[in-house]
Amino acid sequence: MPRGSIGAEIARRLFLSANVLVRIALLCFFALLLSQFFVAAVRAAEPVRAVRIWPSQDYTRVTLESRQPIRHSLLVVKNPERIVLDLQDVEYASIQQQIADKVLASDPYVANLRAGRYLPGVVRLVLDLKQEVKPQIFMLKPVGEYGNRLVLDLYPLEPIDPLMALLDKVPPEAPPAPASAEAKSEPAATLSPGPATEPPKSASSGMPRPEVTRLVTIALDAGHGGEDPGALGRGGSREKHVTLTIARKLKTIIDAEPNMRAVLTRDGDYYLALRTRVEKARRVKADLFVSIHADAFVRPHARGSSVFALSERGATSAAARWLAKRENAADLIGGVNLDVKDRHLAQTLLDLSQTATIQDSIKLARAVLNEIGGVNSLHKDDVEQAGFAILKAPDIPSILVETAFISNPEEEQKLNDDAYQDRMAHAMFRGIKRYFARNPPLSRSTLATLQ
């Protein structure tokens, strides 16, 4: 082979191998690019772990739970009324699977829920509505067992007024004459836009005040609800169901009394912010507030019932402080929209009247504790105090009753037992009656002059 051709051959081979190297490099580059696209695509399709719907008269809540926060946009569409929720980068199949058969026929606001692929990477969720609503949408960070939650609340245009709802239920002829006159005139005076010009009745008459001169209203608050199951029993019971069952039983007993009526803060499986529960009680001018719960502890042998009142500063024990902290966390788990300005905040702050209210709360708590001591063993012999948010109505004596330990298998059984629930409700009722016997409710006009 001539020298020149050898040189040319080497050059040719070098060129070829360089060419191959470039090709390999390019191939690697594209492979990398492709894999990046693939990873991005996989990351993008975030599966929705759960869709939960909590219907109620107050509002209906739709919750979408996922590992990563969901980017979203909301659109209100008319004729017919519906809400369109566009969800970025979520897995279509998971939504489709999760929304199946979730809407109840009894839902006051949502008629149907459907999903479709709208744009690449966007799943469109459509809520067909039964009436026009005011939607609120917000995100909740992971807490407890939950991942990221996207929450859509659908409120009626006219908020449900607990006072009007209460009046709707009171049959006009049922209560005895003085009570019924009071029940009818009071709310009318409250609701009328004009100035309240009720003359003080008891002030002018020198007659001694009868023990119960009017219809007294007891607000009953079934702890937890909806997204917040409360404490869980080993047998699968949830505190939120037990509390509602007992609250309903107590309401029936109270409503059977001629001069008493009960109002439930929630009458269904949905969450209400702690401050909303207090607000409802104040709106109906409740004379007492009773929040019903079931306790839990890491050790299964912890047992017994207990009753708590608010403390202005400091808790009476480390256990009471721990419990108040746990109960106050309900708002985090149940889910509260923090974007909404709280116009009632000023009213629920502690004020001067709180000290007197707490003294009455302790009296009520002792009366109830004495009675339930005959139904179940007591966890503590005396009333304890701590900073429970649910007990902060400044003008309503308020107690929190831990009916038993749901984390104790034996007490969990009791809490699910119809007869035990009845006995517990009757004991609480006797405690309330005993309290009123010693501390008769003031007439409304006297209250008005005190305020």
List of residues contacting Zn ion (CB under 5 A): 223, 230, 293
State which amino acid sits at residue 367.
A
* Selection from 426, 329, 415, 441 nearest residue 374 by Cα: 426
- Residue 238 or 293 with smaller CB distance to Zn ion: 293
- Find how far residue 318's CA is from the centre of its chain: 26
- Residue 224 or 280 with smaller CB distance to Zn ion: 224
* Selection from 281, 293, 280 nearest residue 244 by Cα: 293
**Which residue lies nearest Zn ion, judged by its C-beta?**
293
- Find how far residue 205's CA is from the centre of its chain: 45
- The two three-digit tokens of residue 328, written as one number: 């106050």
Q: DSSP states of 222-284 as a string?
A: E--BTTB--SB-TTS-BHHHHHHHHHHHHHHHHHTSTTEEEEES--SS----HHHHHHHHHHT
**Least distance in angstroms from the C-beta of 244 to Zn ion:** 12
Provide the terminal-to-terminal Cα distance of the chain, rounded to the nearest Å.
Answer: 118
- The two three-digit tokens of residue 103, written as one number: 């809407």
Rounded distance between C-alpha atoms, residue 364 and residue 344, angstroms: 26
- Residue 83 or 401 with smaller CB distance to Zn ion: 401
- Residue 293 or 414 with smaller CB distance to Zn ion: 293
The C-alpha R_g of the chain, in whole angstroms, comes to: 31
**Least distance in angstroms from the C-beta of 247 to Zn ion:** 12
Angle (nearest 5°) at CA 216 between 381 and 254: 65
**Least distance in angstroms from the C-beta of 62 to Zn ion:** 24
- Residue 215 or 333 with smaller CB distance to Zn ion: 333
**Least distance in angstroms from the C-beta of 292 to Zn ion:** 9
**Least distance in angstroms from the C-beta of 315 to Zn ion:** 16
- Residue 92 or 146 with smaller CB distance to Zn ion: 146
- Residue 223 or 431 with smaller CB distance to Zn ion: 223
**Least distance in angstroms from the C-beta of 55 to Zn ion:** 22
Cβ neighbors of 447 (< 8 A, separation 6 or more) are: none
**Least distance in angstroms from the C-beta of 291 to Zn ion:** 8
